[in-house]
Structure 1
Amino acid sequence: MPYYASAEQVMRDRSEYARKNIARGRSVAVLTYTDGVLFIAENPSSTLHKVGEIYDRIGFAAIGRYSEFESLRVAGVRLADVRGYSYNRRDVTGRIVANAYAQTLGSIFTESMKPYEVELCVAEVGATPESDQLYRLTFDGSLVDEPDFVVMGGQAEAVTSQLRQHFHTGLSLREALGVGVAALSSVSPAANGAQLPAEQLEVAVLDRRRPKRAFRRVTGAALRALLTDGADAEPAAPAAATTAAHAPSAPMPGTPAGMGDPAAPDTAASISGRSVSRVASHCVVQRRTCRSRKPSG
């Protein structure tokens, strides 16, 4: 008898295989805030990015097998470039890129032996917060339009429940980053109950205030400053430094005792007076010597 399996069983096996492998990765969260869209990924690597740029105002985030979602990102960049060059840059929208991804993932899931172990998010920033768009794509080509935030990979359900409790519209960049990092830290084993450090995070934004290319990465000191509580407390001046600032300076080598010491002004004045009197007496002696000489010739 030839090998036979029902189509339902085959699709179920492929779905379980893809979900199991996607859940092994670290989570990625995409949130909207007042000035655009925020991408937060738990990613200790500084070169293998989970977040990238597709076009002027379109961003990309993914979870799963790196080689597979990186090939999809490159294909999306090429699609956007060709369409923008052929027609107009305004004709490149996040919905078009998301539809292309959905068709590609759907055909791979049904025709290939192994599906892609990826989940994608295509985000587009608009002129107003109401026009921002977030599209979530699963491994089987399903396309969903999310209103406020998207969570993929890892313990996505736990992170989503945390965001539902603390997220609200109108958050600033600092507030949205704090909410997203707190949600990711609550389920991350690398956090150990604390907040994930900047070295473990990959953060980028689609900033609607930028004139053309809205995508930019937030790294280094800028990211650490956003992760802090923002309290600009004045540090207390050390007592030793204050004492040294008001202490009299030590005299230079070879300087007579009392010179340069503000605590002994009388000694300095007496020494300086004796020096002036010596110079004056020397000048008087020289003048008398010159007068006593008779001119030659």
Structure 2
Amino acid sequence: MSMGFGYVSPEQLMKDRADFARKGISRGRALVGVQYADGILFVSENPSAALHKVSEIYDRIAFAAVGRYNEFENLRIAGVRLADMRGYSYDRRDVTGRGLANAYAQTLGTIFSSGGEKPYEVELFVAEIGDSPDDDQLYRLTYDGQVVDEHGFAAIGGAADTVDAYLKERYSPGASLEDAIRLAVAALGHSPNGSGESGDRVVPVDDLEVAVLDRTRTQPRKFRRLRPAVLQRILGDRSATEPAESAESADTSSETPSDAPTPPASTAPDVAPGEQPPVAPPSDEDGNGDGQPPVAPPL
């Protein structure tokens, strides 16, 4: 008796592939994109100082992603090559965020719909700034190639719905860079941590990756990263202070108090090597009180 091959409907196949991609993306940390007065801000929770989630694509274009690092790094490199080739062949003004977003959408859609390989477990941001805030563009791309034109703010990655709801309640257009950073970091702290614990938490500065597309820069390249020293000045001290305080108290306890008596300086004269130091004449203080020289104790 022969057994027929199993049949899976296209709807079920796409649903299974979508569930697989969403499950992989949800294991990562969230990433926030916020438009502020002078550009577009990206903030992510990334303890690694070498593996970046946010990078530059071209002069006014940035790329941000969550999910599998090797997969979105391949997409980033392909975007850089496409932008360089288009700018070299035609003109630098022909490289646009919309064109890159469409290229990424075609690639992700082809991979997702093909049955030969697994779908990419990634979500992307492609952003481009213009001469004014009305010209800024922020595109969000999903694992299946869908493109969404976002305005104001957006979040991708794990707990993106929670972060997006937090931003929706507190976001105001035209905010300064400092206010936008504080809002984005607070939204990330509102999401669950790596252990799954939810609630407001303090994200250390060393665990943040922050970059901006800043239209106020005079050079053609508008992308720049914000170092921990700058974030420390904006966000304040977000690390534990108990060890520092204990170390400071230990240092101060070892110092001599200001009101402690200062030991008298030595008044002994300098003695050349091989000579005996001079002996002070006997006095009542050195003797036994009767004016006689002091008596050495018995050996």
Whether the TM-score (by the shorter chain) exceeds 0.5 is yes
1:209 aligns with 2:216: yes
Match of 2:161 among 151, 157, 161: 157
Aligned-partner Cα distance in 1 for 2:33–2:107:
22
In structure 2, how many angstroms separate the alpha carbons of the residues matched to 1:63 and 1:70?
10
How far does residue 253 in structure 1 lie from its aligned partner after superposition?
A: 9.1
Q: Which has the larger radius of gyration?
A: 1
Aligned to 2:74, which of 67, 71, 75? 71
Which residues of 2 match residues 185-200 of structure 1 at below 5 A? 185-189=189-193, 193-200=200-207
Q: What is the count of residue pairs matched by the alignment?
A: 246
| Structure with higher helix content | 1
**Structure 1 vs Structure 2 CA RMSD:** 2.7
Amino acid at match of 2:213: L
Amino acid at match of 1:134: L
Instruction: Name which of 27, 30, 51 aligns with 1:27.
Output: 30
Alignment of 1:101-250 (within 5 A): 101-111=104-114, 112-189=116-193, 193-210=200-217, 211-228=219-236
Deviation readout 1:12-70 (Å, 9 max, x if unpaired):
00000100110110000010001100000111111111110000000010010000000
Distance 2:29 2:21 in 1: 15
For the residue of structure 1 that corresponds to 2:191, the secondary structure is coil
**Unmatched tracts of structure 1, length 5 or more:** 230-242, 245-251, 255-297
1:113, 1:68 → 2: CA distance?
13
Give distance in 1, aligned partners of 2:56 and 2:11. Answer: 37
Deviation, 1:149, is 1.1
In structure 2, what is the Cα distance between the partners aligned to 1:155 and 1:133? 24
* Larger CA deviation: 215-224 vs 138-147: 215-224
Amino acid at match of 1:221: A
Greater CA deviation, 191-200 or 28-37? 191-200
Q: Which residue of 1 aligns with 2:99?
A: 96
Three-state SS of the structure 2 residue aligned to 1:52 is strand
| Contact 1:98–1:137, Cα closer than 8 Å, also in 2 | yes
Give the Cα separation in 2 of the matches to 1:56 and 1:85: 13
- For 2:126 and 2:43, the matched residues in 1 are separated by 14
After superposition, the C-alpha distances for 1:53-109 in whole angstroms (9 at most, x for unaligned) are 000000010010000000000000000000000111111010000000000000000
Deviation for aligned residue 1:187: 1.1
SS in 1 for 2:57: strand
Provide the C-alpha distance between the structure 2 equivalents of 1:253 and 1:205, rounded to a whole number of angstroms: 64
SS state of the match for residue 124, structure 2?
Answer: strand
Is the 1:121–1:150 contact (alpha carbons within 8 Å) kept by the matching residues of 2?
Answer: no
Gaps of 5+ in 2: 238-256, 259-264, 268-299
Cα separation, 2, equivalents of 1:193 and 1:5:
44
- Code of the residue aligned with 1:16 in structure 2: it is D
Q: Give the superposition deviation at 1:194.
A: 3.0
SS in structure 2 opposite 1:119? strand
SS in 1 for 2:35: strand
Contact 1:42 1:202 in 2 (8 A): yes
Q: Which amino acid aligns with 2:105?
A: A
For 1:196 and 1:166, how far apart are their aligned partners in 2? 19
Q: Alignment identity in percent?
A: 56
* TM superposition score normalised by structure 2: 0.76
Question: AA paired with 1:99?
Answer: N
CA distance in 2, matches of 1:204, 1:120: 15
Q: How does 1:281-292 map to 2 (within 5 A)?
A: none
